[in-house]
Amino acid sequence: MAAKPVPPRPVPRLYLATPEVDDPSHLVATLPGLLAAADVAAVLLRLKLTDQRSLIAHIKALAPATQNAGAALLLDGHVELVARAGADGAHLASLAALEEALPSLKPDRIAGCGGLATRHDSMAAGERGADYVLFGEPGAGGERPSMEAIGERLSWWNELFEPPCVGFAASLQEASEFAAAGADFVLVGDVIWADPRGPEAALRDAEKAIRQAHAAAFGRVKAG
């Protein structure tokens, strides 16, 4: 009897982090076209700190532009504003922040977690109910693990645990590496917005790099 074929591993999807948003008008106008240019699963909204009323207005302006394109809108922190402003969830920057936020986010909204320096913290986040774990984001001083170390952590997680893992990619090379390592999502931010050709071209290139790396790592071998 022939062995049951293993289903193909899905191609990692993009997770787009915005620049720090003060005035959302430009992003409201450009985001729909940007999200149509590549397979973006979610947008991480980084908000410049201001009064709560303005923050809510900014989120409400950007939520339809994101959600109508089929992507989820997650806030970088600001858990208390998620439901009030119509966001889909929040990204928490530490295990402690995740634990504090879970009662207000679950079961209806997404709770992602980063700031996971050790394997133990990563496993604890998964056990507590994080919808994804993020590896490789810069610390407070801008320091990051090496690309190889991030790839190793993604591969370890992918082999052993059920919740999705996200690799923070600061370059197209890292996006490729993390796709090959087994990331479910690849988070891109500054590498997209800083591209002199514009964010749409950069996003298309990131998706292409991810697909090529995924095909090389997980593509089926044709029978001879």
Distance CA 180, CA 152 (A): 11
- Note the pLDDT of residue 131: 98
Residue ranges for the chain with pLDDT beneath 70: 1-7, 220-224
* pTM of the complete model: 0.94
pLDDT given at position 223: 35
Where do the domains of the chain lie, and which CATH numbers do they carry? 13-218 (3.20.20.70)
Token pair, residue 76, equals 């970088």
Closest CA to 189 of 136, 111, 119, 141: 136
Beta-carbon count within 10 A of 137 CB: 20
pLDDT at residue number 108: 95
